Structure 1
Amino acid sequence: MEFSEQLKIYAETHFENRKKYFAPIISEIEAGLSLCSEEEALLIKFFYGTMPLRDAGEYPFEIFLSYVRHALWLRKTIDWCKKLPEDLFVHDVLYYRINSEDISDCRSFFYEQLKDRIVGLDEYQAAVEINYWCAEHATYEMADDRTAGPMTMYRSGKGRCGEESTFTVTALRSVGLAARQVYTPRWAHCDDNHAWVEVWVNGEWHFLGACEPEEKLDRGWFTGPAGQALLIHSRTFGDYAAGKREEVIGRDGAVVCHNVTASYTKTRKLRIQVRKQDNTPAAHAQISVEILNMAEYFPAAVLETDEQGETSIRLGLGDIRLQARSEGKFVERYCNLAEDGVGAADVDCAVTLVLKDSEAGMKDALSGVSACEWHLEKLCAPKEVVVRESVLSEEEVSRGTRRLADAVKLREERFDQLTRHAIAVHPEEEERMRIAGENAEELTAFLEKDDNPDRKKLLDSLTKKDNKDLRAEVLEDHLSAKRGSWPEDIHVQDLLCPRIWLEEIGAYRSYICSVLPAQEQEAFASNPGLIWNYVNQNITDIPEEEYNTLCASPIGCLKLKMGSAVSRTILFIAICRSLNIPARLDKSLMVPEYWADGAFHVPVSRAQASKGTLLLRNIPGKEWIYAQHWTLGRLEKDHFVTMNHAGLVFEKETLELLLPVGIYRLIAVKRLLNGDQEAAELLFAIEKEKQTELYMPDFEKADGVMPWEKNSVLDEIQSCLLRDILLQRADGTLCSLEKLVSGKRSILAFLEIGAEPTEHVLNEVLALEKSAKGNSKGIGCQLLFVLRQEKDLQHKTLQEVLALDAGSEIEILYDISGGASDANAALHTAVSDAAFGTLCGWQEAAKRMRLAEKLPVLAAVRPDGTGIYGSCGYHVGSVELMVRILKEAVRTEAD
């Protein structure tokens, strides 16, 4: 086949420009290229010219060649792949990486699984069918931020949305359909993000929910949230574009981000000009487009100005914050793109930013001052506008429901079979083996090798996700850690444990000891500070050629002699542990610590700077959850970096933190019913050996910090009749909602077990219940969970909620119209509405609450059975919001 001259020049040029970075492994690359055909060599060079550099040190040449050979076969064999534009082929079929997953030779495997399913289908039908296959093998599960690869998803059957979408894109690409992951880095209306899939069919992109099949494309539970997004983008590795692609909205090293927001909601183009204080253009200034989410201003896109100091971006119609920085100076400004604020959709608007602040200037301004005044803002989320969504017929809905149920059954049966033996042999490890899926065999092999008690301790030290993909031989390598005089918890967590951060785990202990000379190992063991010097002298950082989300493994770092700041930190800790020195990562500052003389020490000179104390005071009874209600950010040169303090809690209305000297920003937020947010921001200094005392803001005080906050929680309160709704109890009897609430504040939740939005609801309940544990009243509300069928009760997350005895009353009910049991049809015809009330399905409840028909449907219910607020579909934070609404409603009624 013939590739364009444009692609040949691009691949050759980019490969040659990068050869200097590949010096430690260039002989391996050139040896591999010498055995390739001309076409194979071209595409391999395209990979090496565009990949995040760390990938070259992590994976052998043969893996990349496997992707090239499979893609070339597809291009020559599959009709829909033959007709793809060249740039779509190289980016969206050929390319081995989708996001930040670990890479393995998997495309041929996926093709073999799928080829018989798509025989005789056109590309549209094939895309739909492949998503059903994906649902038969994987579903949603909340997990940590490390992205497991497609083979791990296949072998374990569960993952978060980024992993589901990576899995589905891999399946589509394996049969020659161009596919990509689409991503909103942060929602505006709730605290979370989401990823889904687009597939190129009949000359245009269509979207689908990964592992959430429907009978047509352009459907998904996320269409509503996407219709009120500020920014949605896709990625390519490299900027090769033979044809026209979407607006480029910045780069993250080797990654190019493409703006697809206009495909999902109304947008406006924002033109931005950055000028210096002398009014001259600030060329090549960096501009962060920030979304307030999880109590931080998250940089959803990073733009760069041209020679005239100008750039632009198309965004949804809500509020954002812009931060421009150049030559050590920066400026921040809020910007309202709402249609009713500054003009109509698709009409450009413009803003000028003048650089003014600097780190030194802020230090001077705050010198001797504990804190400045609170800065107050109200940020509005875009209003929901769904610009496209396919409509299903009743027949398609029925067929899709039936097929999805079949997919769930196949998946559950498959993993029950896969883990049955491991659970039988190790019944005490049932949860771990179910999480591991196919990898249960590896864990069993590791556990059974001998009776070393550290085997179990090592497994316990890992994250849940590590059970899915760690091999026995790798685990064996880490079992070599030797015991010292340190405490047991330090031995397990900071020496024996292979996991440091989000890196891929390999057998790095034996590798490190094989490449470091014995004399050097002895010097490092006696003085761990020398390890930090070695790492920084030998490992280079080329951020413009990397992908910030990825970090190199210790083996990859040493092999390529390259790694980011995080990768170098991981390498330092890995070398320490390999030399039997306990070491760990301080996640709040992202700096390493090593154990010596009975305490942990920091080798990083910057982090050894003097420290001061922050004392935060809170009003009685107010709960602040870090990364939901508040965050701390530390000024690093020209921007604030959010600190990782997950799990921080106030003790008796106070919280004390020891922090390095510097300038900090505290952000506190309150989410309103319509998704808007109230934000309070405070700048302060931490000075050497001094205490800075601050009071958290009181959002509820009518005459307090928030001038707009007067009964805002109750602005959208309804009075909706729900008391006559009939639901089925677990014993099969019918009961009205009025009797079910029994004079208690309640949250009525119609759930769709297994679907991602419902999983979020259950995890929110779990988090609230855990925080309320010990309180005799729990979270202060009765929880009425309405399931669709009896087997839903066995769902893992639901069982975790039910097993947590936190004081809250929880009752399991069944939606009669949803088919809780075979007897429901008879019940439905036998019961007289006039005599007993309304046999109400979730659709009727949604209709009464004036909600869209999207599960889960939640309603805050007064003690008399009246619904006062409802939500449906995807809205992270909805449970906590309803608890707050019910508490305030009752307090208001009492007043």
Structure 2
Amino acid sequence: MRRATHLFGICWLLCLLTSCGKSHFITDESYRSRMEQDLQQKQTMLSQGELFTILDDESLTTYEREALEFLYAYMPLADITDYPGQFHLMNIRASRRTTEEMPWGKTIPEDLFRHFVLPARVNNEHLDSARVVFYDELKDRVKSLSLYDAILEVNHWCHEKAVYMPSDARTSSPLATVRTAYGRCGEESTLLVAALRSVGIPARQVYTPRWAHTDDNHAWVEAWADGKWYFLGACEPEPVLNLGWFNAPASRGMLMHTKVFGRYEGKEEVMSVTPNYTEINVIENYAPIAQAKVKVTDGQGNPVSGAQVEFKLYNYAEFYTVATKQTDAEGTCALTAGKGDMLVWASKDGKFGFSKLSFGKDNELTVMLDKTPGDNCVIDFDIVPPAESANLPAVTAEQRAENNCRLAYEDSIRNAYVATFMSEDSARRLAKQYKLDADVVAKILAASRGNYKVIADFITRLRSEDSRKGGIDLLQQISAKDLRDVSLEVLIENMLSHVRTSAVNFRKYVRNPRISNEMLTPYKTFFDKVISQETEQIYLEEPAKLIAWVAENIRVEKDCNLGGPAISPAGVWKARVADAHSRDIFFVAMTRSMGMPARIDEVTGKVQLIEDTGLIDVNFEKALSDESRLQRGKLVAGYKPVKSLDNPKYYSHFTISKVTPQGRLQLLAYDEGDADMGSGTTWSNLLKEGTALDAGNYVLVTGTRLASGAVLSNVIFFSVEPQKTTKIDLVMRESKDEVQVIGNFNSESLFTPIVDKGNPSSKQSLLQACGRGYFVVGILGVNQEPTNHALRDIAAYKVDLEKWGRKMVFLFPDEAQAGRFTKESFPGMPSTIMYGIDTDGIAKQIAEAMKLRNKNSLPIFIIADTFNRVVFVSQGYTIGLGEQLMKTVKGL
């Protein structure tokens, strides 16, 4: 009998395994059929090489095969070329494991699992094995929790790993962010989505392409629990969901996007459907909305079908496209957005037109295609953002206190990890051992953070004096983010680069592996293997032949890599298909691997060969000729200073965009830098004496951002002709309203100053601390992104604020938050700042007196005087706070 039972068990197990092998990943036959058609199209496009061999593996189960087919049907080309099939299969098996081992695994609807759990890609980050690593750390921590509480817990785990720090636009992988222990909002949200998906929780990254009321953008996370999507700030745990510092600014947002992997059929408004993802609009989850219809007509008033309609927000001194639509047969399209102003820009066949659209006021707008590149004019626009209307969930005092205790503990965990990074003393000893500049080496190793072992290993391999000099120069050429995730292989191969040009060009445009925004890979070693020396010599003697080869052999498919990072040069070689940007990186990588200097110009985006005698534009439509050499003119802009601004800054006050032959705008991306430290692009160093521009048609946009978030913009269309100088005026419009008293505040309010190494002292009033006259009071949210931005903005105006000479009192909500604040994270703050603790309710008084909607939204800043008058108030997320403070100060 026991034997029979045993045999029955074996049979049952075999049946179970057989049924598992036949179970479908996609049970909807119509969806599966359409997915198979999309896969076939992808395979037809990528007929070169063996990019889909994993699908021929006969050991795959039905589930695994369908899941792989789904991923390959919709993944960007970079994920096909740069990651082996086994990598994707590993992620499929890891995601399926969550359905068996997590308590909510079998309750997640199939379509949500397909789109929001299975995909490893979140944004345009480099992919890694985060799903497997994170699952091992998180599974026991969350398996006994409800789905709602598990979301909160995963975010606490992420806060142990990373906090906010601004950086360049390339998105680090989740594991690189953990290794670094900080990231910008796009990296923090990528980390959190990856962590949530690792334990089988549907999650997606949500972002506003640009804010309407202030410069900058932001990304956060939505997670699904028990039939509903909730939002949360990544690595910024709150006691409950649907709460973050961005509740208030999000209520002033005009558009919130998320890109959903594959063909998605949810109930949200679809913005666009691409071969790789479905873009949906989730603005209604955050702000009051309105829909507007746009009609595009030709010069005679006839509807224009197939016109491209761009909806543009004013942000960073340009009108930035946040949504793009195509007109239908009647010449119309529609968009749902927050109730504020956008610029609508329509174009087709070289004709264009534009007009302001006020959502909530204008139900319909007609845009006439009555302009062509070269039509020059000057136009003013007054842009008004949506009003604030945030609704916050309730949080008890006990919940807040418990959450604050957890944050402090998590900070200690992360700080203990950061303490394992190489110390300055160790870095200096290493430099001394290898006879290197200690200051330079210490700075490099500090910037490398958790990647310090790779950088130190590389330095120890620099044996000769020349190699040490070159190696340190290489480390200085790559970006700070590169130092945090570059591999030893990449560093070593670039020390072996060919020298066939001047020292400057060699350092910047041959040995430097950084080309654009791609992940650094060892492409020089790769090309050394696949390109013969004979072929290389031909290209060196006649670069036109290399350009012609790339034009003939690398097919550009504009939609093949949507949603992904740049395809690696090796990936482009294997596929022989790429998007235009990856093709450009590929070409520059090939030339540099041969010792031929080349670059992608950061300002114009053009590919250029660099000769000791000058630059040559690369045109893949034709071989090099004299016509490829730059045809340039000169632009000079006069500027009459306004009282609060003597030298406008690029991106803060003005930008220049080229009008393409198609009638669209292409921003010139000048160096952002730090103008207050003598770098960056300003009117005086770019336009006062003039700058060279390619011949063509351009737009100069200026904008004065008011404290309300509204903008006074001026737009100038102009043309640049070869060998001629164009003169225009840069105009910064001013508000006619003088500084006004906007509220009252008791200057004798008490606070507790912090003195003697962080210890609080006895209470004193603001009047006692500041003396008679104007002063600034700030209430800080420690380690919150809005406060971090505000403090850095204030530091940028250190000289001006110290010259003003009045006190600035910055208060922490309580002693616990004061203990979490580190001054060292904000160097260059004005010496007029005094820190303290808000022991007597100053924040509450300000919120009530100024009728602020949410007293808990930080930071809060006011300018007041000892006659109890308030002349300036700012709350929450505001970019350019230092400038706004100084505008008010200069107007007093």
CA contact (8 A) 2:741 2:870 kept: no
Higher mean displacement: 594-603 or 83-92 = 594-603
Instruction: Output the CA distance in 2 between the equivalents of 1:524 and 1:766.
Output: 50
Equivalent residue pairs, number: 827
Q: CA deviation at 1:27?
A: 5.5
Q: 2:639 aligns with which of 618, 621, 639?
A: 618
Q: Is 1:759 paired with 2:780?
A: no
Report the equivalent of 1:592.
Answer: 607
Q: CA deviation at 1:233?
A: 1.5
Report the equivalent of 1:553.
Answer: 568
Report the equivalent of 1:135.
Answer: 159
Instruction: Output the CA distance in 2 between the equivalents of 1:884 and 1:313.
Output: 36
CA contact (8 A) 1:737 1:865 kept: no
CA contact (8 A) 1:150 1:166 kept: yes
Q: CA deviation at 1:550?
A: 3.2
Helix, strand or coil at the partner of 2:322: strand
Q: Is 1:393 paired with 2:428?
A: no
Helix, strand or coil at the partner of 1:301: strand
Q: Is 1:442 paired with 2:470?
A: no
Matching residue's letter, 1:752: G
Q: CA deviation at 1:602?
A: 2.9
How is 1:462-541 mapped onto 2 (pairs within 5 angstroms)?
A: 462-483=478-499, 486-487=502-503, 489-541=504-556
Instruction: Output the CA distance in 2 between the equivalents of 1:157 and 1:57.
Output: 29
TM-aligned CA distance change 1:95 to 1:615, over 3 Å: same
TM-aligned CA distance change 1:778 to 1:509, over 3 Å: farther
Q: How big is the alpha-carbon RMSD for the aligned residues of Structure 1 and Structure 2?
A: 2.6
Q: CA deviation at 1:443?
A: 1.4
Report the equivalent of 2:388.
Answer: 384
Q: Is 1:694 paired with 2:728?
A: yes
**Identity across matched positions, percent:** 27
CA contact (8 A) 1:276 1:355 kept: yes
CA contact (8 A) 1:166 1:181 kept: yes
TM-aligned CA distance change 1:842 to 1:462, over 3 Å: farther
Report the equivalent of 1:833.
Answer: none
Report the equivalent of 1:878.
Answer: 881
Q: CA deviation at 1:840?
A: 4.8
Q: CA deviation at 1:735?
A: 4.5
CA contact (8 A) 2:179 2:450 kept: yes
Q: CA deviation at 1:442?
A: 1.4
TM-aligned CA distance change 1:16 to 1:252, over 3 Å: closer
Instruction: Output the CA distance in 2 between the equivalents of 1:24 and 1:329.
Output: 38
Superposed CA deviations along residues 155-186 of structure 1, whole A, max 9, x for unmatched, are 11100101100100011001111000011111
How is 1:59-78 mapped onto 2 (pairs within 5 angstroms)?
A: 59-78=83-102
Structure 1's unaligned 5+ residue stretches are 343-348, 367-371, 701-708, 803-807, 818-838, 890-895
Matching residue's letter, 1:753: V
TM-aligned CA distance change 1:393 to 1:573, over 3 Å: same
CA contact (8 A) 1:613 1:656 kept: yes
Helix, strand or coil at the partner of 1:477: helix
Helix, strand or coil at the partner of 2:589: helix
Matching residue's letter, 2:76: P
CA contact (8 A) 1:478 1:498 kept: yes
Instruction: Output the CA distance in 1 between the equivalents of 2:415 and 2:664.
Output: 47
How is 1:232-247 mapped onto 2 (pairs within 5 angstroms)?
A: 232-241=256-265, 244-247=266-269
Q: Is 1:721 paired with 2:724?
A: no
Higher mean displacement: 746-755 or 415-424 = 415-424
Superposed CA deviations along residues 429-479 of structure 1, whole A, max 9, x for unmatched, are 455444434322211211112333122221111111112211112211111
Q: CA deviation at 1:780?
A: 7.4
CA contact (8 A) 2:713 2:733 kept: no
Instruction: Output the CA distance in 1 between the equivalents of 2:771 and 2:320.
Output: 44
Instruction: Output the CA distance in 2 between the equivalents of 1:107 and 1:166.
Output: 12
TM-aligned CA distance change 1:781 to 1:816, over 3 Å: closer
TM-aligned CA distance change 1:543 to 1:849, over 3 Å: same
TM-aligned CA distance change 1:282 to 1:213, over 3 Å: same
Q: CA deviation at 1:307?
A: 3.1
CA contact (8 A) 1:781 1:883 kept: no
Higher mean displacement: 208-217 or 536-545 = 536-545
Q: Is 1:289 paired with 2:322?
A: no
Higher mean displacement: 592-601 or 61-70 = 592-601
Helix, strand or coil at the partner of 2:726: strand
How is 1:468-867 mapped onto 2 (pairs within 5 angstroms)?
A: 468-483=484-499, 486-487=502-503, 489-547=504-562, 550-604=565-619, 608-620=629-641, 622-636=646-660, 637-646=662-671, 647-651=680-684, 654-700=688-734, 709-711=735-737, 714=739, 717-731=742-756, 733=761, 734-742=763-771, 746-769=775-798, 783-787=808-812, 792=820, 794-798=822-826, 800-802=827-829, 808-817=830-839, 839-851=840-852, 852-853=854-855, 854-862=857-865, 866-867=869-870
Instruction: Output the CA distance in 2 between the equivalents of 1:219 and 1:240.
Output: 27
CA contact (8 A) 1:634 1:664 kept: yes
CA contact (8 A) 2:98 2:200 kept: yes
Q: CA deviation at 1:63?
A: 1.6
Q: CA deviation at 1:553?
A: 2.4
Helix, strand or coil at the partner of 2:38: helix
Superposed CA deviations along residues 550-582 of structure 1, whole A, max 9, x for unmatched, are 322222222222223322222222222211223
Q: CA deviation at 1:784?
A: 4.2
Q: Structure 1 length as normaliser, TM-score?
A: 0.87
Helix, strand or coil at the partner of 1:574: helix
Matching residue's letter, 2:206: V
Higher mean displacement: 281-290 or 776-785 = 776-785
CA contact (8 A) 1:762 1:797 kept: no
Superposed CA deviations along residues 613-654 of structure 1, whole A, max 9, x for unmatched, are 100112245221111211101011221111112322233882
Q: CA deviation at 1:22?
A: 2.1
CA contact (8 A) 1:666 1:681 kept: yes
How is 1:111-510 mapped onto 2 (pairs within 5 angstroms)?
A: 111-241=135-265, 244-251=266-273, 254-277=276-299, 279-338=301-360, 341-342=361-362, 349-359=363-373, 363=374, 365-366=375-376, 372=377, 374-386=378-390, 388-419=391-422, 423=427, 426=430, 428=438, 429-451=441-463, 452-453=467-468, 454-483=470-499, 486-487=502-503, 489-510=504-525
TM-aligned CA distance change 1:864 to 1:797, over 3 Å: farther
Helix, strand or coil at the partner of 1:544: coil
CA contact (8 A) 2:714 2:733 kept: no
Helix, strand or coil at the partner of 1:220: coil
Instruction: Output the CA distance in 1 between the equivalents of 2:215 and 2:428.
Output: 41
TM-aligned CA distance change 1:562 to 1:403, over 3 Å: same
Higher mean displacement: 463-472 or 350-359 = 350-359
Instruction: Output the CA distance in 2 between the equivalents of 1:226 and 1:303.
Output: 23
Instruction: Output the CA distance in 2 between the equivalents of 1:169 and 1:548.
Output: 16
Helix, strand or coil at the partner of 1:522: helix
Higher mean displacement: 746-755 or 868-877 = 746-755
Q: Structure 2 length as normaliser, TM-score?
A: 0.88
Q: Is 1:98 paired with 2:122?
A: yes
Higher mean displacement: 84-93 or 808-817 = 808-817
TM-aligned CA distance change 1:719 to 1:815, over 3 Å: same
TM-aligned CA distance change 1:294 to 1:397, over 3 Å: same
Instruction: Output the CA distance in 2 between the equivalents of 1:304 and 1:598.
Output: 45
Instruction: Output the CA distance in 1 between the equivalents of 2:388 and 2:243.
Output: 16
CA contact (8 A) 2:180 2:451 kept: yes
Matching residue's letter, 1:238: G
Q: CA deviation at 1:91?
A: 0.8
TM-aligned CA distance change 1:78 to 1:31, over 3 Å: same
Helix, strand or coil at the partner of 2:353: strand
Q: Is 1:36 paired with 2:70?
A: no
